[in-house]
Protein backbone atom coordinates (compact mmCIF):
# COMPACT_ATOMS: atom_id res chain seq x y z
CA UNK A 1 0.00 0.00 0.00
CA UNK A 2 1.20 3.48 -0.84
CA UNK A 3 0.79 6.40 1.53
CA UNK A 4 1.48 10.07 0.95
CA UNK A 5 2.73 11.54 4.21
CA UNK A 6 3.41 15.15 5.13
CA UNK A 7 5.67 15.59 8.16
CA UNK A 8 6.14 19.00 9.75
CA UNK A 9 8.82 19.18 12.42
CA UNK A 10 8.36 21.54 15.36
CA UNK A 11 11.39 21.28 17.62
CA UNK A 12 11.06 23.37 20.79
CA UNK A 13 13.04 26.60 20.45
CA UNK A 14 14.69 25.93 23.81
CA UNK A 15 15.75 22.35 23.00
CA UNK A 16 19.41 21.66 23.82
CA UNK A 17 21.28 21.92 20.48
CA UNK A 18 23.22 18.71 21.16
CA UNK A 19 19.95 16.85 21.80
CA UNK A 20 18.46 18.26 18.59
CA UNK A 21 21.56 17.29 16.60
CA UNK A 22 21.44 13.72 17.98
CA UNK A 23 17.73 13.38 17.17
CA UNK A 24 18.35 14.60 13.60
CA UNK A 25 21.29 12.21 13.14
CA UNK A 26 19.25 9.27 14.46
CA UNK A 27 16.32 10.27 12.24
CA UNK A 28 18.58 10.46 9.18
CA UNK A 29 20.05 7.01 9.86
CA UNK A 30 16.61 5.40 10.18
CA UNK A 31 15.19 7.33 7.19
CA UNK A 32 18.06 6.15 5.02
CA UNK A 33 17.70 2.54 6.21
CA UNK A 34 13.96 2.59 5.42
CA UNK A 35 14.72 4.05 1.97
CA UNK A 36 17.29 1.33 1.26
CA UNK A 37 14.72 -1.28 2.34
CA UNK A 38 12.11 0.21 -0.03
CA UNK A 39 9.58 1.20 2.64
CA UNK A 40 10.27 4.95 2.29
CA UNK A 41 9.95 5.45 -1.47
CA UNK A 42 10.21 9.23 -1.71
CA UNK A 43 11.48 11.93 0.61
CA UNK A 44 11.19 15.53 -0.54
CA UNK A 45 11.86 18.73 1.36
CA UNK A 46 9.00 21.25 1.15
CA UNK A 47 10.86 24.36 0.08
CA UNK A 48 11.00 27.00 2.78
CA UNK A 49 9.67 24.73 5.55
CA UNK A 50 11.09 22.28 8.07
CA UNK A 51 8.74 19.73 6.55
CA UNK A 52 8.73 16.97 3.97
CA UNK A 53 6.46 15.14 1.59
CA UNK A 54 7.11 11.42 1.62
CA UNK A 55 5.71 8.31 -0.01
CA UNK A 56 5.77 5.10 2.01
CA UNK A 57 5.20 1.61 0.64
CA UNK A 58 4.02 -0.59 3.50
CA UNK A 59 1.66 -3.56 3.81
CA UNK A 60 -0.94 -1.95 6.08
CA UNK A 61 -2.08 1.15 7.93
CA UNK A 62 -0.80 -0.48 11.11
CA UNK A 63 2.67 -0.91 9.57
CA UNK A 64 2.68 2.76 8.57
CA UNK A 65 1.64 3.79 12.09
CA UNK A 66 4.36 1.62 13.67
CA UNK A 67 7.00 2.95 11.27
CA UNK A 68 6.11 6.59 11.90
CA UNK A 69 6.08 6.06 15.66
CA UNK A 70 9.65 4.70 15.51
CA UNK A 71 10.98 7.94 14.03
CA UNK A 72 13.15 9.78 16.55
CA UNK A 73 11.51 13.09 15.61
CA UNK A 74 7.98 11.62 15.86
CA UNK A 75 7.19 13.40 19.19
CA UNK A 76 7.90 16.73 17.49
CA UNK A 77 6.03 16.10 14.22
CA UNK A 78 2.64 17.03 12.90
CA UNK A 79 1.75 14.27 10.43
CA UNK A 80 -0.88 14.22 7.69
CA UNK A 81 -1.54 11.00 5.75
CA UNK A 82 -3.38 10.23 2.52
CA UNK A 83 -3.79 6.73 1.14
CA UNK A 84 -2.93 6.38 -2.55
CA UNK A 85 -4.36 4.13 -5.23
CA UNK A 86 -3.92 3.87 -8.99
CA UNK A 87 -5.50 6.72 -10.95
CA UNK A 88 -7.58 5.35 -13.85
CA UNK A 89 -5.84 7.75 -16.25
CA UNK A 90 -2.33 6.83 -15.13
CA UNK A 91 -0.17 5.43 -17.92
CA UNK A 92 1.91 3.40 -15.46
CA UNK A 93 0.99 -0.23 -14.99
CA UNK A 94 2.83 -0.72 -11.70
CA UNK A 95 2.71 1.41 -8.57
CA UNK A 96 5.83 3.50 -9.30
O1 LIG B 1 13.90 16.63 7.92
C2 LIG B 1 12.72 16.20 7.96
O3 LIG B 1 11.88 16.50 7.10
C4 LIG B 1 12.28 15.28 9.08
C5 LIG B 1 12.82 13.92 8.95
C6 LIG B 1 12.50 13.12 7.78
C7 LIG B 1 13.61 12.49 7.37
C8 LIG B 1 14.69 12.98 8.11
O9 LIG B 1 15.87 12.67 8.03
O10 LIG B 1 14.25 13.90 9.00
Minimum CA distance residue for ligand 1 atom 5: 27
Q: Is the pLDDT of residue 94 over 90?
A: no
pLDDT, tens only, 33-51: 999 999 999 999 999 999 9
State the pLDDT at residue 93: 74
> How many angstroms separate the alpha carbon of residue 95 from the centre of ligand 1?
24
ipTM above 0.90, yes or no: yes
Quote the CA–CA distance of 28 and 93 in Å, as a whole number: 32
Longest dimension (CA), the chain: 49
Contacts (Cβ under 8 Å, ≥6 apart) of 38: 57
Amino acid sequence: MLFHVKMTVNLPLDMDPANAAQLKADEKALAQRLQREGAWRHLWRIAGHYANYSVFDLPSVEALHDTLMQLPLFPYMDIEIDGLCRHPSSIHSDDR
